[in-house]
Amino acid sequence: MLFALGMLPGSSIDKTIMSDTLDMVLKTWDLESLWGWDFPAMAMTAFRLGRKKDAIDLLLMETPKNTYRANGHNPQLPRTDLPVYLPGNGALLLAISLIAQDWDNARDNARDDEDWKMQAEGLLPIP
């Protein structure tokens, strides 16, 4: 339900309803059981809603399946049979690209002392 404004541009999505949906997901879902691609997808949704701080917090959220090894692999801990979850890696790269290329234009609900500065070049536009 969040991917319509996260992974997709969601041009016909009611942003108030989507923001309420994101809040309900964060409040009621078992975040420990989500998969690695869910965190970047939620971050993209938050970012497209103008919730920059929430987007960064979701990318950095400490849960077993939102971790990355030194080589970049996104293991789906505590499972040992899935040491590499490539959808998690791809979603992270997509989220970072989306956020970095439009950081300065996004509405921000973060306090000034929590604001991040981003610079990117050569990224292809994400719709």
Render pLDDT for 30-51 as a digit per residue (tens, 0 to 9): 999 999 999 999 999 999 999 9
CB 42 within 8 A of CB 58: yes
Res. 111: pLDDT tops 50? no
Amino acid 8: pLDDT: 86
Alpha-carbon distance of 17 to 8, in angstroms, equals 16
What pLDDT does residue 102 have? Answer: 78
End-to-end alpha carbon distance in the chain: 18
Average pLDDT, rounded, for the chain: 87
* pLDDT of 61: 95
Across the range 63-91, mean pLDDT stands at 91
**pLDDT confidence of residue 103:** 73
The pair of structure tokens assigned to 58 is 């979701």
Q: Where are the alpha helices (DSSP H) in 29-81?
A: 38-48, 52-60
Residues in the chain: 127
Nearest residue to 15 via CA among 107, 102, 94, 105? 107
Q: Where are the alpha helices (DSSP H) in the chain?
A: 15-28, 38-48, 52-60, 86-102
User: What pLDDT does 106 receive?
Assistant: 63
How far is 67 from 40, CA to CA, in rounded Å? Answer: 12
Tell me the C-alpha distance between 33 and 91, whole Å.
17
